[in-house]
Structure 1
Amino acid sequence: MNRDDLEELTTTFYVAAPEGNPWGLNAEQFEAGLRRLTAQAMTAPLAAPQDMTEQLAFDGHSLVLAVHVGDVAVDGQFMDASQGLNIGPCTAGEAAALIEWFQSLLPEGARMRFNSEEGVESGDMNDYWIPVGAQRDAVAEELLGHLEEVVDE
């Protein structure tokens, strides 16, 4: 798949704290951050896990969300138990917009690991990393680089 195709590919991106080093962020703090970002953010409790990924992280205190980051519309879920963020399905550029904002909720210097539905489905369970403090374009490049590795032609 060429770069242009990867830029248009929609998938779900999974973002989480490093193993054994939680961010200390809960669903209430996440929701408050969304409200500071935009009053139009829509959230709702995730009442029951809908797929295997959600079952792994489900604890009854998770949120589904729909938000605009600037002019980019993004959907996802924040999982309280894992402090993980599922973004999409969306493009790498759309996910990057939410990830750039999400960093503002984390402690200074906090690291973020990620993978994607494409990565998981291809059997790649490695952690990929967002550089600390990365801006939207740099985040998108990391996500696209990951997709280049895991997406079959």
Structure 2
Amino acid sequence: MAVTKIRKISSWTLLVLLVVSVAVCLAFFVGGVELDAAGNKVYANTDLVLYWGYALVALTLIATIVFAIVSLIQGFRTNPKRALQSLLVFIVLIVILGITYAIGDGTPMSVNEDSAQYNTPGWLKTIDMCIYTTYTLVALIIAGVIWGAIRKRLAK
């Protein structure tokens, strides 16, 4: 019964988010285009797309954090050793974020005045942190897949 309810809720959630995303996408492309003084295209519903993207990212972060905390609490009740391994993975992620922020370049670039508010050392290091963390995690995923295949082959 619970599995069916979970599947229904997740299916409906996916469908609602998909329908709203398609509606926002259509509003963006069909909403109209104007030319500014410099001759650049300005889409009428750009702010709607950005706010929907922010909402999806916030929803994803909140859901991820809540489910991780609940899973960790349940893990300590059932298998404390495995829960500590999960906590260790979280700590390693925080360390990776700290290291990649520290190695990020904060040197301001020459940009137009619209982008100048984000042309600060803190924002530039944060962007580098996101990029370097992505590279690191992709490399760790590939290494994990290779290690899993080797370990499976050696176990036979």
- TM-score (norm. length: structure 2): 0.20
| Structure ID, larger Rg | 2
Q: Tell which has more relative contact order, 1 or 2 (C-alpha 8 A, sep 6+).
A: 1
- TM-score (norm. length: structure 1): 0.21
